[in-house]
Amino acid sequence: MVSVNELIRNYSKAVREGYAAVFAGAGLSRASGFVDWKTLLKPLARDIGLNIEKEDDLLAVAQYHRNERGTRASINQAIIETFNNGTEDNENINILTRLPINTYWTTNYDQLLEDGLRGNNRKVEVKIDKDQLAITLPNRDAVLYKMHGDVERPADAVLTKDDYERYDMKRPLFRTALQGDLISKTFLFVGFSFEDPNLDYILSRIHTLLDENKRDHYCFFKRVQKEQGESEEDFVYRKVKQDLREKDLKRYGIQAIFINEYEEITDILREIEISVYKNNIFISGSVEQFDSPWDNVKSGNFAFQLAKELVKRNYKITTGFGLGIGSSIINGALNEIYTTKYKHIDEYLCLRPFPQGIINPDERKTLFTKYRQEMLTQVGIAIFMFGNKEKDGMIINADGCWEEYEIAKSLGKIIIPLSCTGYVAKEILEDIKKNINDFSYLKDYILVLESTVNPKDLVNLTVKIVDSVRY
Is the link from the previous residue into 293 a cis peptide, with omega within 30 of 0?
yes
Let me know: does 429 contact 446? Beta carbons within 8 Å. Answer: yes
Let me know: does 261 contact 222? Beta carbons within 8 Å. Answer: yes
Let me know: does 325 contact 386? Beta carbons within 8 Å. Answer: yes
Let me know: does 71 contact 162? Beta carbons within 8 Å. Answer: no
Counting Cα atoms < 13 Å in the Cβ hemisphere of 51 gives: 2
Catalytic residue (choose from 148, 207, 217, 344): 148
DSSP label at 453?
A: -
DSSP string across 123-166 = -EEEE-SGGGTT---TT-SEEEEETT--TT-GGG---SHHHHHT
Distances (CA, A) of 246 to 2, 37, 92, 255, 257: 11, 22, 23, 8, 9
Taking alpha carbons only, the member of 286, 277, 337, 341 closest to residue 307 is 337
* Angle value at C-alpha 346, between 345 and 352, nearest 5 degrees: 105
The phi and psi torsions of 144 (rounded to 5 degrees) equal -115, 115
Distances (CA, A) of 40 to 34, 80, 198: 9, 11, 20
Considering only the C-alpha atoms of the chain, give the largest distance between any 2 of them, rounded to a whole number of Å: 87
Tell me, yes or no, if 148 is annotated catalytic: yes
What is the amino acid identity at position 371?
Y
Alpha carbon 115 to chain centroid distance? 15
d(CA 374, CA 383): 16
Task: Give the residue numbers marked as catalytic.
Answer: 148
